[in-house]
Chains A and B, each alone.
Chain A
Amino acid sequence: MENNNSFLDINKKQYDFREDIIYLEKFPNGLSKEVIENISKIKNEPEWMLKIRLKAFEEFSKRPMQNWGPDLSHIDFNSVTYYISPNDKVANNWDDVPEKVKKTFEKLGIPESERKFLAGAGAMMESTTAYHKLRDDLTAKGVIFCDTDTALKEHPELLKKYFGTVVPMSDNKFAALNTAAWSGGSFVYVPKNVKIDLPLQAYFRINAQNVGQFERTLIIVDEGAEVHYIEGCSAASYSSDSLHAAVVEVIAHKDSRVRYTTLQNWSDNVYNLVTKRAHAYENSYVEWLDANIGSAITMKYPSVYLKGEYAKANILSVAFANSGQIQDAGSKAIHFAPNTSSTILSKSISKGSGKTVFRGLVQIMKGAYNSKSFMKCDALMIDKESKSDTIPSLKINEEDVQVGHEATVGKVGEDQLFYLMSRGLSENDAVSLIVGGFFKQFTKELPLEYALEFNKLIELEMKDSVG
């Protein structure tokens, strides 16, 4: 089972390192109308996008910080830089990526993964995408996979049609912030009936300190098409905070299938405040597989709006909160159409002083008869001071529906440990085994390479957990 492949040989250093990068562009810290205009200008954007940005900036400015969830009052929006770029163009050949940037992604194993098991890869550092490449045969079939800035230049009609339609700027303060300051992110278009065999992957990296990273991802899967998109992220660790506020919009047309997998491993000085939502049309199937291991505070609730009859959603999320971390995660499934179904499964572990919160919402609108939903959340606490909250919500406005909910909260039991240790496992190994088993329903859904990486990350978090 063990694989000695260098890609899998992970330790903390593999993620927490800094490259001494020369930045071609770095805006002074803070956000203003002028900063927004400069971002748009540097990108040479069409006027309509600048208008959207400015409107969103207004929305962001007037909107108070949300009064629920973790305390975000100490985020200082003026202490981060809103545009910082180590490169002036997106390469489609790793040799054209600036040396230190390339080195970073090599250390993270991106080019190697791309060669081995990806249909396309993207790599973004700070505010800009450094590399993007799609397999040639997929380009020939009409698949588009590029950074969102390039998409705005080359496919403005698609951007105009879909941008902000799934996550409007008015959705929340951070969606407004992203819409105002967005830069980079992935754009995916899969034409009718094209099924992409291997995953597309994007990797997001924060190398500098006090960075605001606002990637904007838009995925459009046309009728009968299929795609699996995977994103990973990590950052160099600093004592000052960085802000990552992404918006992800997914449009799953009739009969399509979309799986969106996230392995979030930010360093513990990153605030990760992300809005992810999909619109699922008739008979489509949308899956979010969302893992949150890193960051100081994460607030993220991947959602599916089931808008077409027989649409299905599967949202599987896992969270690991180590000491000092808050993982405020969850899922939403909103049923607008009849005969739609959704399953939500959340597994979370809190360790040391870490805290996990599950917020789940299942809403069945009037008219969405014969819909089904099942929501389950399991929380496991490793230590006495670990915390976990479960906040499920069911809003049912239709009679002929089936909705179920289950929740479990547990501790690693003395008897379980004794049982495993009685076979010769150390206490650490026993706890790790229990934790690995707890997350199994998630890891078994991942491609092997990612399952191994996920397990290694959890092992790192579990190291020296006891005694």
Chain B
Amino acid sequence: MFTIVNFINLVAIYYNMSFLEINNLNVSTQDKEILKGINLKINPGEVHVIMGPNGSGKSTLAYTIMGHPKYNITSGLMTLNNIEINSLKVNERANLGIFLGFQYPSEISGVTLTQFMKQARKSDMNYVEFFNMIKSKMSELNIDDSFIKRSLNEGFSGGEKKKNEILQMAVLEPKLAILDEPDSGADVDALKLIAHGINNARKNNTAVLLITHYNRLLTYVKPDFVHILHDGKIILSGDYNLAEVIENKGYEEIIKNNGK
């Protein structure tokens, strides 16, 4: 049977599409339009940064790519590796290699990180092998051993939660990592470790979509592209220097010059 997905795949191959392609994406939640025609292409090993004032739609973009049921795609198309993902369930997207590092990770009582990650990775490793693998990733990120036994995110500090997200990314080795403000709530030491984790992922050819407010993290993770999101649209894209411009001038002036 020739489906719409087959068709899209054929088109994708013909046009040599990027790994993640977002075309004219419009998203609403509770009848409020949030994203108004997003276009974005990300390739393996690239780091794209999305910056923008509060309420511009950054987290909505992250949640929509991952597939949160709260957000409705009113039009537009998202493909990963030529596969249409608009209608896939959250876990199906995850199984294609999409990862979302949460700004506010949920607390899950009574569930340990090891237990959760073993189930998530569908690993053939036995428990001891898996435990050791997680431990080595933890020491790489300088994460305290106690993480492994504690309930997932329960009673974690802001910085600990963020490190835990980066650790999960390291364990799951996604193809596309969307990181929603991984730097908020993190102190300088945590920030360096988070940056280290992101750089490692990039080295392993993970495509990274990084949402942040601050330049701080970008001194450790040099992005390939920086996009400014305002009122649901990408109003300006550039390289690393654009982040510096924002830092110096603030969003307002850029919006004044580029916002429509």
Give chain A's interface residues, CB within 8 Å of chain B: 1, 413-416, 418-427, 429-430, 433-434, 436-441
Contact = CB atoms under 8 A, between A and B. Distances in A.
B102 interface: yes
A418 B90 contact: yes
Given A1-B127, A425-B119, A429-B119, A420 B108 contact: yes
A118 B257 CA distance: 78
A423 B120 CA distance: 6
A433 B108 contact: yes
* Chain A at the B interface: SS class: helix
13 contacts: A1-B118, A420-B108, A421-B94, A423-B117, A424-B95, A424-B120, A433-B111, A433-B115, A437-B109, A437-B151, A438-B109, A439-B110, A440-B109
A420 B116 contact: yes
Interface string B41-65: 0000000000000000000000000
A421 B106 CA distance: 12
Contacts of B66: 418, 422
A373 B122 CA distance: 44
Contacts of A436: 110-111
A256 B19 CA distance: 67
Q: Which of A413, A425, A438 has the most CB of B within 10 A?
A: A425
Q: Which of B69, B90, B100 has the most CB of A within 10 A?
A: B90
Interface string B87-111: 0011101110001101001101111
Nearest to B94: A424
A433 B116 contact: yes
A424 B91 contact: yes
Given A425-B120, A433-B108, 18 more contacts: A416-B108, A418-B66, A418-B69, A419-B102, A420-B108, A421-B91, A422-B93, A422-B99, A423-B94, A423-B168, A424-B91, A424-B95, A425-B94, A427-B91, A430-B91, A433-B115, A439-B110, A440-B109
Contacts of B89: 421, 427
B120 to A, nearest CB: 4
Contact of A437 (B90, B91, B100, B111): B111
Contacts of A434: 108, 111
B90 A421 contact: yes
Given A418-B68, A422-B100, A424-B91, A437 B120 contact: no
8 A-B pairs with the lowest CB-CB distances in the bound complex, closest first? A440-B110, A437-B110, A423-B120, A437-B111, A424-B94, A421-B90, A419-B106, A421-B91
Interface string B134-152: 0000000000000000011
A397 to B, nearest CB: 35
B60 to A, nearest CB: 14
Contacts of B70: 414
A2 to B, nearest CB: 8
Contacts of B80: none
